[in-house]
Amino acid sequence: MSAPAPAAVSVSARLLPGGPVADEVLADVGARSAVLRARGVTAGLATLLVGDDDASAGYIRIKQQRAAALGFASPHVHLPAGASQADVHRVIAGWNDDPAVHGMLVQYPIPAHLDYNAALQVMDPDKDVDGMHPVNMGRLASGMPGPLPCTPAGIEALLAFHGVVVAGREVVVVGRGATLGRPLAMLLAQKRPTADAAVTVVHTGVGDWARYARRADILIAAAGVPGIIRPEHVKPGAVVVGGGVRYEGRRILPDVLESCAEVAGAITPRVGGVGPTTVAMLLRNVVAAAERANP
Ligand SMILES: NC(=O)c1ccc[n+]([C@@H]2O[C@H](COP(=O)([O-])OP(=O)(O)OC[C@H]3O[C@@H](n4cnc5c(N)ncnc54)[C@H](OP(=O)(O)O)[C@@H]3O)[C@@H](O)[C@H]2O)c1
């Protein structure tokens, strides 16, 4: 008699990788960048890093490499960890006035003595390619065109790419943070074929948030609390998107436990899910800013 097979974790969910979504977006961005170059315009993405956080330096490198591959210019300033708020504002103001810089970003987080929101407000909103400036949040809230926050826009694109119907369905977002949960809720509730959802946002103020999570057709983790989304929070067959992550050095600790794949109908992979779409949306915002500046 042969030995019984070892118990295997049954994973039934279809995977929703972000890589192919990013490839499609970047192919479009590359073509638009080439059109601009033919007109003598090189799209420019400027990046500012304050301090010496390894992970942040790594993210900047990835963004610069992708920008270079698309033929963008990518000027970079690295300020020491002890830089003042005025130093940060001076760099941003210089880029505001530089016609070769179409988009800029301040890599987050910045050292604790600095005020990220104050720095954001110095930025020309049309060059804010993270889509985080209050003017751009206002544009999003009122349905006006402008740079969209990258991770929320990436999640909408990811769902659309993989044929996940959002319109008319119940979406529950766990987290109301300014980077992800709040703008994502606004985006997915907009009147548009790839949005148009019934969106509920839960947070620490909703003690029984699991009750809402369990009824979601599409459950989106945006909390930054490792393992907060467990299989018992997922309606069988639901779509689960892992947006929230915590970084411990270079280690990624996702909000969504991998075992959720045993209950979900479709789920983003632990690595290579939402992340690649975020960078693609950033670069799309840059080329769009360059087009706007050179009509
Ligand atoms: N994958 C990517 O490319 C990417 C890009 C950007 C951001 N992110 C990730 O997205 C996450 C969210 O970022 P953010 O800046 O928008 O959020 P944030 O400001 O850190 O806020 C987190 C949200 O989660 C809620 N929350 C925390 N613990 C909870 C709990 N135990 N139960 C219920 N709700 C809880 C908080 O509720 P309260 O409001 O009540 O405190 C808050 O609304 C982070 O993990 C970040 O790393 C990922």
Residues 211-222 have pLDDT tens digits of: 999 999 999 999
Measured distance CA(149)–CA(185) in Å, rounded:
12
Angle at which helices 54-69 and 274-293 cross, to 10°: 50
Work out whether the CA dihedral 76, 78, 79, 85 comes out positive or negative. positive
The answer on whether 224 is annotated among ligand-binding residues is no
Specify the DSSP class assigned to residue 128. B
Domains of the chain with CATH codes: 40-127 (3.40.50.10860), 150-275 (3.40.50.720)
Confidence check: pLDDT of 3 > 70: no
Instruction: State both tokens at 31.
Output: 């073509």
Query: For the residues 73-99, what does the mean pLDDT come to?
Result: 98
Quick one: pLDDT at residue 1?
42
Atom of ligand 1 nearest to the CA of 203: 34
Quick one: pLDDT at residue 10?
62
Task: Give 45's contacts (C-beta < 8 A, 6+ positions apart).
Answer: 63, 64, 67, 72, 73, 74, 101, 102, 103, 104, 105, 129, 282, 283, 286
Q: Which residue has a Cα nearest atom 30 of ligand 1?
A: 204
Q: Which residue has a Cα nearest atom 25 of ligand 1?
A: 175
Atom of ligand 1 nearest to the CA of 204: 40
Atom of ligand 1 nearest to the CA of 224: 45
The answer on whether 177 is annotated among ligand-binding residues is yes
Does pTM top 0.85 for this prediction? yes
Structure confidence by residue, pLDDT tens digits, 225-283: 999 999 999 999 999 999 999 988 778 899 999 999 999 999 999 999 999 999 999 99
Residue 158 near residue 268 (C-beta atoms within 8 A): yes
Report the first-to-last Cα separation within the chain, whole angstroms. 75
Q: Which residue has a Cα nearest atom 45 of ligand 1?
A: 224
| Cα-to-centroid distance, 214 and ligand 1 (Å) | 19
